[in-house]
């Protein structure tokens, strides 16, 4: 628990606050020290923790894969190469299963999404207090270590996917074809406004569901970790009740962490699979 | 938990990572995988072909063996035939030779007999002459009676 946070509410709030860099109200650029300051920065601010963590994790993943790719041999694979080949084959199989058109970008896209999201989610398994405490010692007021609990990260990716969906829809079907798909079904051309409403919702739902599913799962998971941590931390004392709570915190966080390993992987896989499916739909004439 | 410019940064970062992956990660690994797949497939095909070849070779060797056996029995048969032929010729030759020898011997015997007869006749004629001269009491002129004697000798013969 951070020494600044005295009550449970403050503790939770502190843990859920991103490290935001932006235009402060006193007219200078800097880091927001309170959630209110961060909010007041408006749109043109950057969540440094989300940005740096996702950059770091993505870079590590790409570095590892790139190293394997550079030193790849066609003989008997070993170690890192083995892992990367397994990963690539796993992604390739998944993509082949749900993507029927031909596009060389989809598989690398799926690979990037799966491992990047997986790594970002995996940060959830770090003990909730360690990184914020360490950062506090370094003079950094907030640090949210799990980028996928920041809607900016999940929506950022979902928007990327959405742009690709738009791009390939127009590229494959032509602007007219895409517009027709949005307006001429399911009720024919006389039901155009209704069609547009239905298909528009259908289209917009894709990135929103992608982003919110990942964000919601990770946020809720993180929240439960925080609550479990709060249970032991807030009432820790020399009483029997305090000791019980402390013990149950250990057991609960262990249990939740083990369960969370599943969620972490599953959410990464779902994000990847849905992206591939959406891309496949963008490539199809009719759906 | 505010939506802010991080959104854009994340989208750009995402695009960069995807681009990097597409450019430098996926193709070399995939190419290596494909190549290995090809190697393995080739190896399996080679093995299959070798197996097929082996089958053919064993079939061929069996064929050769059979042919060789046939030839051997042929040779043996012709050898036997030849041997019996040789024996047959030898037998015929031996018979001819034997006959010749027998004929020679017979001729010799005939000659001997003839000679003996001749001798005997001479002796008989001498004995007859002697007997006759004894009976007549005088010498018989051999020259004068040679006709008679020859006749006698011819009769004895």
Q: What is the pLDDT of residues A84-131, one digit of tens each?
A: 889 999 999 999 988 988 888 899 999 999 999 999 999 988 888 888
In this structure, of A11-20, B51-60, B129-138, the range with the lowest mean pLDDT score is B129-138
Write out pLDDT tens, residues A202-218. 899 999 999 999 999 99
pLDDT of B138 strictly over 80:
no
Quick check: B13 and A58 CB within 8 A?
yes
Instruction: Tell whether the torsion through CA atoms of A213, A216, A218 and A224 is positive or negative.
Output: negative
- Position B132 scores a pLDDT of 77
The secondary structure element, H or E, covering residue A18 is none
Whole-number pLDDT of residue A4: 42
Q: Sort strands A29-31 and A20-23 into parallel, antiparallel or unpaired.
A: antiparallel
| pLDDT at residue A233 in the model | 61
d(CA B154, CA B131): 18
Cross-strand partners of A22: A30, A45
A17/B1 CB distance under 8 A: yes
Q: Is the pLDDT of residue B111 over 50?
A: yes
Provide the pLDDT for residue A60.
95
Q: Is there a contact between B25 and A66 if contact means CB atoms under 8 Å apart?
A: yes
Give phi and psi for A3, each to the nearest 5. -70, -20
Distance from the B23 Cα atom to the nearest Cα atom in chain A, whole angstroms: 9
* Beta-carbon count within 10 A of A76 CB: 8
User: In chain B, what percentage of residues exceed pLDDT 70?
Assistant: 91
- Indicate the length of chain A as a whole number: 287
Average of per-residue pLDDT values in chain B: 88
Query: Among this protein's residues, is A3 annotated catalytic?
Result: no
> End-to-end CA distance of chain A, in Å?
52
User: How would residue B12 be classed by pLDDT, with cut points 50, 70 and 90?
Assistant: very high
The Cα–Cα gap between A217 and A260 comes to 10
Low-confidence ranges of chain A (pLDDT < 50): 1-5, 287
At residue B73's C-alpha, the angle toward residues B71 and B77, to 5°, is 115
Interface test with B, best of A58, A112, A208 (most B CBs within 10 A): A112
Across B89-107, average pLDDT: 94
Q: What is the pLDDT of residue B154?
A: 74
Q: Where are the alpha helices (DSSP H) in A8-105?
A: 8-15, 35-40, 48-70, 79-98
Nearest CB among B9, B24, B30 relative to A88 is that of B30
Who among B4, B8, B29 is closest to A85 (CB)? Answer: B29
- The four Cα atoms A94, A99, A104, A109 give a dihedral, to 10 degrees, of -60
In whole angstroms, give the CA distance from residue A165 to residue A36: 36
Asked if B17 and A55 touch (Cβ cutoff 8 Å), the reply is no
What is the pLDDT at residue B141? 66
Looking at residue A27, its pLDDT comes to: 79
- Look at residue B156 in the predicted model and tell me its pLDDT: 65
Q: How far apart are CA A56 and CA B56, in angstroms?
A: 62
**Sign of the torsion angle spanned by Cα atoms A31, A36, A42, A47:** positive
B29 with A88: Cβ contact below 8 A: yes
Question: Backbone phi, then psi, for A79, in 5-degree steps?
Answer: 55, -120
Chain A residues inside the 8 Å CB shell of B26: 88, 107-108, 111
- Give me the mean pLDDT over the B115-120 stretch: 87
**Per the structure block, which two tokens stand in for A115?**
């491992």
Distances (CA, A) of A194 to A44, A58, A121, A189: 36, 42, 39, 10
Place of tokens 């739909």: A281
**In terms of Cα–Cα distance, which of A248, A256, A254 is closest to A224?**
A256
Catalytic one among A148, A217, A248, A253? A217
């Amino acid at each position: 628990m951070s020494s600044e946070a005295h009550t449970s509410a403050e503790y939770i709030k502190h843990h859920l606050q991103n490290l935001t860099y932006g235009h402060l109200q006193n007219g200078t650029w800097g880091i927001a020290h309170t959630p209110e300051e961060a909010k007041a920065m408006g749109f043109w601010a950057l969540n440094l923790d989300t940005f740096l963590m996702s950059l770091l994790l993505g870079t590590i993943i790409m570095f590892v894969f790139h190293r394997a790719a550079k030193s790849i041999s066609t003989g008997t694979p070993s170690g890192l190469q083995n892992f990367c080949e397994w990963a690539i084959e796993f992604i390739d199989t998944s993509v082949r299963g749900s993507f029927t058109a031909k596009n060389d970008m989809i598989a690398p896209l799926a690979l990037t999404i799966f491992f990047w999201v997986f790594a970002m989610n995996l940060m959830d398994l770090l003990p909730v207090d360690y990184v914020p405490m360490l950062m506090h010692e370094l003079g950094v007021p907030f640090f949210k270590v799990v980028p996928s609990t920041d809607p900016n990260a999940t929506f950022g990716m979902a928007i990327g996917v959405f742009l690709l969906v738009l791009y390939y829809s127009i590229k494959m079907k032509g602007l007219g074809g895409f517009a027709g798909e949005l307006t001429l079904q399911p009720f024919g051309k006389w039901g155009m406004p209704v069609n547009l409403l239905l298909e528009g919702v259908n289209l917009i739902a894709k990135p929103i569901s992608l982003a919110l599913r990942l964000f919601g799962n990770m946020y809720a998971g993180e929240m439960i970790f925080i609550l479990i941590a709060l249970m032991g931390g807030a009432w820790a004392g020399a009483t029997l009740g305090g000791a019980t709570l402390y013990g149950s915190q250990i057991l609960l966080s262990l249990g939740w962490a083990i369960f969370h390993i599943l969620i972490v992987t599953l959410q990464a896989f779902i994000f990847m699979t849905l992206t591939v499916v959406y891309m496949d739909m963008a490539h199809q004439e009719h759906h | 938990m505010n939506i802010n410019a991080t959104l854009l940064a994340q989208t750009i970062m995402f695009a960069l990572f995807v681009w990097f992956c597409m450019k430098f990660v996926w193709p070399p690994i995939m190419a290596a995988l494909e190549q290995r797949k090809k190697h393995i497939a080739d190896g399996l095909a080679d093995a299959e072909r070798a197996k097929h070849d082996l089958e053919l070779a064993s079939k061929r060797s069996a064929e050769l063996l059979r042919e060789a056996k046939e030839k051997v029995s042929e040779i043996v048969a012709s050898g036997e035939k030849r041997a019996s032929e040789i024996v047959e010729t030898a037998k015929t030759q031996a018979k001819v030779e034997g006959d010749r020898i027998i004929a020679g011997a017979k001729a010799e015997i005939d000659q001997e007999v003839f000679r003996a007869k001749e001798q005997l006749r001479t002796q008989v004629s001498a004995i007859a002459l002697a007997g006759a001269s004894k009976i007549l009491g005088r010498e018989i002129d051999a020259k004068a009676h040679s006709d008679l004697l020859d006749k006698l000798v011819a009769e004895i013969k």
